[in-house]
Amino acid sequence: MKASDAMVADPHVAVAGAMASEVAIMLRTRNISVVPVVDDHRTRRLLGTLSDRDLVTRCLAEGKHPWHTRADSLMRTNSPVVGPDQELTGYQVRMDLDPNESHLRPTITVVDGEGLVIGFISHPEQIAGVEIVWG
């Protein structure tokens, strides 16, 4: 199965300059837990990903104010990224844990040849042939 067959096309994204509070509202209203962070809504160039857990552990737990903390200061830049033609059978999602991390959720962002977000796979562990490697 190719990434394009498993992805949600044209996923919701957060803009880098959005405040953490805005991202939290979007996650709640869209009923999602992870979102790609992009340079702007028009180009959708991928910069990283941001999860509800990141909002809690990288913003609130560190005493940062969600109305004054930008999404790009909280996002992860090491999340898996593939092209739409990537074969997922045998694909490994590497979850390289920082010693200070205790919980991450695997996701895969699908980008085109220019690095623009075109899709998102929120639960790769549910795709036959995809292996999640914790390390």
How high is the pLDDT of residue 22? 98
Give the burial class of 62: count Cβ atoms within 10 A of its Cβ; 0-12 exposed, 13-18 middle, 19 or more buried.
exposed
Closest CA to 48 of 19, 73, 66: 73
What's the average model confidence in pLDDT over 44-66? Answer: 96
In this structure, CATH architecture of domain 3-134: Roll (3.10)
pLDDT at 87: 97
pLDDT of residue 46: 98
Lowest mean pLDDT, pick from 29-33, 98-102, 119-123: 98-102
Say what the pLDDT of residue 101 is: 64
pTM of the model: 0.92
Res 103 pLDDT > 80? no
Q: What contacts 116, CB < 8 A, 6 or more positions away?
A: 43, 44, 45, 46
In degrees and rounded to multiples of 5, residue 117 shows phi and psi of -70, 125
Assign 3-class secondary structure to the chain: CEHHHHCEECCCCEECCCEHHHHHHHHHHHCCCEEEEECCCCCCEEEEEEEHHHHHHHHHCCCCCCCCCEHHHCCECCCCEECCCCECCCCEEEECCCCCCCCCCCCEEEECCCCEEEEEECCHHHCCCCEEEEC
Assess whether pLDDT exceeds 80 at residue 104: no
